[in-house]
Amino acid sequence: MITAEPRRMLVLAGAAAHASRTRSVAELVCRDIAAAGGRPVLRDLAEHPLPLLHADPDGANLADVQIQAAEADAMIWVTPCYHGSYSGILKNCLDHLREDALRGKPVGVVAVGASLTAVSACDHLRAVARTLGCVTAPTQAVVSGGGLLDDGADSGAYPRIVRMIGELHALTGVTGVLRQCATADVGSPA
């Protein structure tokens, strides 16, 4: 259980389908965030579509997701694995987010696929997170196979999801202090 103030964690569900295994896994992640004392915010990109980058800078959902990302203490990116990588709808969302709002922010990654080869989607998302200046949790999860178990994930992925959420809570405390130091005015008197 988390003893500090609850952490707000934005969970981005990156499947284009309204009803998907990715959405189910994202809902499981949100339940586990709440069980660990956090405050989950689920953003299903199928329900809140974003315009293509540079196509409509005033898109209806654009400001909302940018605010949610900026206000989140941490993020978890949940994606289906398409052709060995993460989804285009999640890529488009990440392209819209501001680097200065993400720098130093803890991020967890979860891939949903037919087999454990979906780990490549996690690897690709880790590279994107590094490029945006985010700090990724050491643990990632790959939900594989055709179905979900009663707890919402396959037996190997569920403990990894729980561990990743715990790591994000810990990282949020550390990176929050670092982010405050980075934005402090170094020219002001002590």
> pLDDT for 1-58, tens place per residue?
444 577 999 999 999 998 999 999 999 999 999 999 999 999 999 999 998 888 877 7
For residue 44 the two structure tokens come to 């299903």
Lowest mean pLDDT segment, chosen from 27-31, 99-103, 104-108, 178-182? 178-182
Phi, psi of 12 (to 5 degrees): -95, 115
Arithmetic mean of pLDDT over the chain: 88
pLDDT at 176: 78
DSSP code, position 116:
G
* Region 110-116 average pLDDT: 92
Phi, psi of 49 (to 5 degrees): -65, 145
Residue 145's region, left for phi above 0, alpha for psi from -120 to 50, else beta, is left
DSSP code, position 82:
B
Q: Higher model confidence: residue 5 or residue 110?
A: 110
Give the pLDDT band (50/70/90) at residue 138. Answer: very high
CB hemisphere CA count around 42 (13 angstroms): 18
- Of 89, 99, 94, which Cα lies nearest the Cα of 10? 94
pLDDT at 167: 96
DSSP code, position 110:
E
User: What string of DSSP letters covers 137-164?
Assistant: -S--EEEESS---TTSS-TTHHHHHHHH
**Over 70: is that where the pLDDT of 148 sits?**
no
Judged by DSSP in three states, 74 sits in: strand
Q: 8-183: which CATH topology?
A: Rossmann fold (3.40.50)
The reply to whether the predicted model has a pTM over 0.85 is: yes
Per residue in 56-76, pLDDT (tens digit) is 777 778 899 999 999 999 999
What are the sequence ranges of the domains in the chain? 8-183
Q: Are 68 and 43 in contact (CB under 8 A)?
A: yes
**Over 80: is that where the pLDDT of 111 sits?**
yes
pLDDT at 24: 94
